Amino acid sequence: MGPLSLAQDIGSRWVYWPWVTDHLDDIWMRLSQHVTLTFLAVAYGLVIAFPLALLAVRWRRLYPPIIGFTGVLYTIPSLALFVILIPWTGLSRTTALVPLVAYTLLILIRNIVAGLRAVPPEVQEAAQGMGYRPLRQLFVVDLPLALPAIVAGIRIATVTTIGLITITALIGQGGLGQFMIDGFQRDFRTPLTIGVVLSVALAVAADLLLVGTQRLLSPWARVKTR
Q: Note down pLDDT in tens along the chain; length 226 residues.
A: 444 444 444 445 566 667 778 878 888 999 999 999 999 999 999 999 999 999 999 999 999 999 999 999 998 888 888 888 888 888 788 888 999 999 999 999 999 999 999 888 888 888 778 877 878 888 888 888 889 899 999 999 999 999 888 888 888 777 888 888 888 777 778 888 888 899 999 999 999 999 888 888 766 555 555 5
User: Is residue 210 assigned to a domain?
Assistant: yes
* pLDDT of 42: 96
Residue 214 lies in a domain: yes
- Could you tell me if residue 4 is inside a domain? no
Instruction: Tell me if 209 is assigned to some domain.
Output: yes
Q: Is residue 11 part of a domain?
A: no
Say if 151 falls within a structural domain. Answer: yes
CATH number for 205: 1.10.3720.10
C-beta neighbour count of 191 within 10 angstroms = 26
Using alpha carbons, select from 82, 100, 75 the residue that is nearest to residue 165: 100
Residue 51 counted as domain residue:
yes
Measured between alpha carbons, how far is 136 from 141 in angstroms, rounded to an integer?
8
Can you give the residue range of the structural domain that contains 195?
Answer: 16-221
Number of compact structural domains in the chain: 1
For residue 98, what are the contacts with CB-CB under 8 A and spacing of at least 6?
81, 85, 89
State the Cα–Cα distance between residues 33 and 56, nearest whole angstrom.
34
- Identify whether 10 is part of a domain: no
